[in-house]
Amino acid sequence: MRKPKTKLNLLRQRIHIIIYGSDTRAGRLFDLILLGLILLSVFCVMLETVKGFDVKYHHELIVLEWIITLFFTLEYLLRIITTNKPRRYIFSFFGIIDLIAILPMYLSFFLMGSKVFSVIRALRLLRLFKILNHPKFTGQSQHLLRALDASRRKITIFLYFILISTILIGSLMYVVEGEENGFTSIPTSIYWTIVTLTTVGYGDISPATPLGQFIASMVMILGYGIIAVPTGIVTAEFAKTSANKTEPEKNKCGNCGSENHYTNAHFCYHCGYPFTTN
């Protein structure tokens, strides 16, 4: 099956270019249709869960979803057929996502009404992250990722500190407030601590004793203050990578070795040596 007759092979190649590539006009059109269908499909999943809407338009939604599912099934099969390494696609991250997203509709014949299966189709959304590889965004998103990657270790230490503090404060509040004030167990207390430390503050659980309110106040001020830490880490990295970007290494004088020349400099600012290529 790998090398069929030439005519069929040519068609396979053409479809491959349309589906996998985005350089040709047809390829870009295909990408746009796919994007539209993903959004439409996720929109369907959302509307299905809205009671009033689902009762009114149940039939229409089902029909629409079958059309979408058939299209995605076709796309899945074409992706397998037209690629030279079908296994690599099938077991790739997006290959598995694609399969998982079309299965629920077919399984709905056997397993009726399962909410979980229905919602799984929303995973298709993950495909939209592929857009960040688009040349228009690739520089910006790499800059973002590089800054986050550079601050990875510091953030890990910070999260480690937060985690231990959270368990200790949660245990303390469980003892201070007790089950009668909503702190029914240590895990619940830890949940409350995270809600407070991150300044979310639902209010579903809130301290009632004076001591508990005092500790809660300390936790809030702690949370309010230490948000400065991840922000400071990431900002410093952004500022650094942004500074590095504007000062390329080649800006070094070939004559006297002085550095940090402007990219549009014609002469070395130190020895007056003329630049040729810069």
Q: Kindly identify the residues of this chain, within the stretch 240-269, that bind its own copies according to CB under 8 A.
A: 240, 242-243, 246, 257-269
40 binds its own copies (CB under 8 A): no
- Residue selected from 140, 149, 254, 255 as contacting its own copies according to rule CB under 8 A: 140
For its own copies, the closer of residues 17 and 150 by Cβ is 150
For its own copies, the closer of residues 21 and 139 by Cβ is 139
Contact 20, 84 (CB under 8 A): no
For its own copies, the closer of residues 82 and 261 by Cβ is 261
- Residue selected from 61, 76, 191, 209 as contacting its own copies according to rule CB under 8 A: 191
For its own copies, the closer of residues 1 and 116 by Cβ is 116
Q: Residue 119 and residue 44: Cα distance in Å, rounded?
A: 10
13 binds its own copies (CB under 8 A): no
- Residue selected from 20, 66, 106, 224 as contacting its own copies according to rule CB under 8 A: 224
Name every residue whose Cβ is closer than 8 Å to that of residue 170 and which is 6 or more positions away in sequence: 186, 187, 189, 190, 191, 192, 193
108 binds its own copies (CB under 8 A): no
45 binds its own copies (CB under 8 A): yes
Name every residue whose Cβ is closer than 8 Å to that of residue 57 and which is 6 or more positions away in sequence: 47
Helix (H), strand (E) at residue 28: helix 25-49
Cα dihedral across residues 223, 226, 231, 234: positive or negative? negative
For its own copies, the closer of residues 92 and 199 by Cβ is 199
Q: Which of 67, 61, 58, 59 is nearest to 44 (CA)?
A: 61
128 binds its own copies (CB under 8 A): yes
For its own copies, the closer of residues 76 and 158 by Cβ is 158
Region of 2-10, 40-48, 85-93, 96-104 interacting with its own copies (CB under 8 A): 40-48
Report the nearest approach of its own copies to the CB of residue 63 (Å). 20
For its own copies, the closer of residues 18 and 176 by Cβ is 176
Report the nearest approach of its own copies to the CB of residue 264 (Å). 5
- Residue selected from 27, 90, 119, 209 as contacting its own copies according to rule CB under 8 A: 119
How far is Cα of residue 220 from the mean position of the Cα atoms in its chain?
29
133 binds its own copies (CB under 8 A): no
164 binds its own copies (CB under 8 A): yes
Q: Residue 43 and residue 252: Cα distance in Å, rounded?
A: 55
125 binds its own copies (CB under 8 A): yes
Name every residue whose Cβ is closer than 8 Å to that of residue 238 and which is 6 or more positions away in sequence: 147
The number of C-alpha atoms within 13 Å of 214 and in the hemisphere containing its C-beta is 4
Contact 270, 262 (CB under 8 A): no
Contact 255, 271 (CB under 8 A): yes
Cα dihedral across residues 235, 241, 242, 247: positive or negative? positive
Helices (H), 50-92: 51-82, 86-90
71 binds its own copies (CB under 8 A): no
Query: Scanning residues 170 to 189, which ones bind its own copies (CB under 8 A)?
Result: 171-172, 174-175, 178, 184-188
